[in-house]
């Protein structure tokens, strides 16, 4: 009987230690999660620096302003001089543009320019003209306004256009998976 009691005590002690280890591991995961989330804007900035050289070749020129004909086709377009990639679209655009409160916003996007800076563009349109407002935003604002989806889209751009960077891409994939699951 004492052997049985000792075995039950050993099992219980082992079980309690296992619970302690699991709880300790959960706390360290939570601590890392908080640390990663505190550094997410810095990570986004470093990711942007890795891809800027590719944007001049693969990015697009965005419409700054254009006139519309009777069929709604754009003519006499004027584009921004720098190429950019789109990282996200706002589900709920601002009600009006910061530069002109009389202009409503139809579409609002997050961008990364070939200069390595993040931008937000807001498009307005009436019957005759489509024009936009472009403003630089910080990496923190990118995450706050567009969420981790913008970071994920930047990762996808890196994955598509960066060759011979498998280790970096693998590490970023694991980090992004971790951030998105938190």
pLDDT tens per residue across span 7-30: 556 555 555 565 565 555 555 545
Residue 102 near residue 96 (C-beta atoms within 8 A): yes
Average pLDDT score over residue span 144-156:
88
Measured between alpha carbons, how far is 97 from 28 in angstroms, rounded to an integer? Answer: 44
For residue range 100-115, what is the model confidence (pLDDT) as tens digits? 999 999 999 999 999 9
Query: Which residues have C-beta within 8 Å of that of residue 75, sequence separation ≥ 6?
Result: 66, 67, 68, 69
Q: What is the pLDDT of residue 42?
A: 86
Tell me the pTM: 0.72
The pair of three-digit structure tokens given for residue 73, joined into one six-digit string: 């086709």
Mean pLDDT, residues 171-182 taken together: 70
Q: What's the pLDDT score for residue 72? A: 82
| pLDDT (average), residues 125-149 | 93
Alpha helices in the chain (DSSP H): 2-38, 40-58, 139-146, 148-161, 166-181
DSSP-assigned states of every residue in 9-36: HHHHHHHHHHHHHHHHHHHHHHHHHHHH
């Amino acid at each position: 009987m004492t052997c049985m009691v000792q075995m039950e005590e050993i099992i219980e002690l082992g079980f309690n230690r296992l619970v302690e280890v699991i709880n300790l591991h959960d706390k360290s995961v939570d601590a890392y999660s908080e640390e990663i989330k505190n550094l997410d804007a810095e990570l986004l900035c470093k990711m942007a620096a890795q891809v800027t050289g590719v944007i001049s070749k693969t990015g697009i020129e965005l419409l700054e302003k254009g006139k519309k004909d009777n069929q709604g086709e754009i003519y006499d377009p004027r584009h921004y001089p720098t190429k950019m990639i789109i990282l996200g679209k706002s589900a709920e655009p601002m009600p009006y543009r910061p530069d002109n409160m009389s202009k409503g916003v139809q579409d609002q996007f997050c961008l990364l320019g070939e200069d390595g800076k993040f931008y937000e563009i807001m498009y307005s349109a009436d019957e005759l003209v489509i024009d936009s407002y472009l403003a630089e935003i910080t990496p923190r604002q990118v995450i706050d306004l567009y969420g981790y989806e913008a970071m994920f889209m930047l990762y996808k751009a890196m994955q598509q256009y960066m060759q011979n960077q498998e280790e970096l891409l693998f590490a970023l994939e694991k980090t992004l998976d971790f951030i998105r699951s938190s």
